[in-house]
Structure 1
Amino acid sequence: MTAEPSRVYDAVLARRSYSKVTPETPDTAEIERLLEAAATAADHAGLAPWRVIELRGAARERLGDAFARVAMEGGADADAAESQRRKPLRAELLLAVVVSYRESPKVERWEQEAAAAGVAHLLTLLLDDAGWGAMWRSGQATRSAPVAAVHGLGVDEALLGWIYVGGRPDGIRRERHATVDLAEHHSVLE
């Protein structure tokens, strides 16, 4: 059976990452509404091994300080550290995506990370569909101790990255993503 393209299909094809966003942001109630839908991502055994942390205002500045510290500890000069410090200020709202590992005899840690990543991806799709600009970012500091401390992560948690969220700037072209060569990414076993 071949179905006609659906609204979901169209939304997936229309989704774009926005590296620059305006200061407008969804409020906590809207984030929670979208998370309710994103929580339907595939999740073996229903462990819900994830959480999302909103960072606004001074929380972004503390994250920037942690980025700078990690950069300096890695041998960066003052200019490079300052560049790292400014990164979380690119958007007024960052949504930190955390994998919260659960004890399970049948669901390995990698699969729990995949479930948390599925929630993050659905959340970016839902934000885009709701008219917000969003981009999932990570980097060298993502799994560092100073950054984990800013987020208050537990011993069985790890950060997957941040979704930077804001309004969509005027004049940004929403070009279609480059397509992949399906011959390299799809096969059929017989």
Structure 2
Amino acid sequence: MTSALEAVRARRSWSKVTDAAPTHDQLLELVAAAGRVADHSSLAPWRLIELRGADRERLGAAIAKAEGDKHPSTKPLRAPLLVAVVASYRKSDKVPRWEQEAVASGVAHMLSLLLDEAGWGVLWRTGHYTRSKPVAKAHGLKKNEELLGWLYVGGKPASARPGHRRPVDASAFVTRMPEGRK
């Protein structure tokens, strides 16, 4: 069994995937695990929208409308499964909006790791149109929700290699708290 550290170190974005995709039930199993991210007050300020088949074409039309294009965008057709990541904000005196968005982002990232470990190619796509009215309407977003992007999911091509990521120099990002001034 792969350790969490090994899975995270091996994770890569897959910009090209095959037409294979996890089933709805397989996706649900992984979402149940991904939903265990740290969540202050257990608000569950997120939801996911599964897009397959013609759903992706409707998204392409909504992106075109947001961009002012006459032809539907083909971007959503680049993977057989798109998982829209939605921050679904809850009223709370204790948990600010930014923290709720962080929870939704955490679920998306955890899901991307779990999908990768299960053998699927994954890429998290965003774009300025994620916050557009036509795209929000296509996803049925409520007033308290924002789209954070989509996980594009498909099979890992046998002949392709994932994108390369440079190792992170952790010492450049980890510091100590400064001492107090006297």
Give the TM-score normalised by structure 1.
0.89
8 Å contact from structure 1 (residues 92, 165) kept in 2: yes
Amino acid at match of 2:168: V
Identity within the alignment, % = 55
1:83-110 deviations in Å (ceiling 9; x for gaps): x611101011100000100000010000
Hey, what's the Cα distance between the residues in 2 that align with 1:171 and 1:135?
18
Give 1:179 deviation, angstroms: 1.8
TM-score, normalised via structure 2 length? 0.92
CA contact (8 A) 2:58 2:138 kept: yes
CA RMSD of aligned residues (A): 1.5
1:50 shift after superposition: 0.3
Number of residue pairs matched by the alignment: 177
Contact map agreement 2:13 2:163 (CA 8 A) in 1: no
- CA displacement, residues 125-173 of structure 1 (integer Å, 9 cap, x when unaligned): 0000000001000001001100001100111011000000000011223
Q: What secondary structure is seen at the aligned counterpart in 2 of 1:22?
A: coil
1:15 match: 11
What letter corresponds to residue 59 of structure 2 in structure 1? L
The answer for unaligned runs of 5 or more in structure 1 is: 1-5, 73-77
Measure, in 1, the Cα distance between the counterparts of 2:66 and 2:35. 32
Structure-1 residue corresponding to 2:35: 39
Query: Counterpart of 1:153 in structure 2: which amino acid?
Result: L
Residues 1-150 of structure 1: pairs in structure 2 closer than 5 A = 7-72=3-68, 82=71, 85-150=73-138
Structure 2: which 5+ residue stretches go unaligned? none
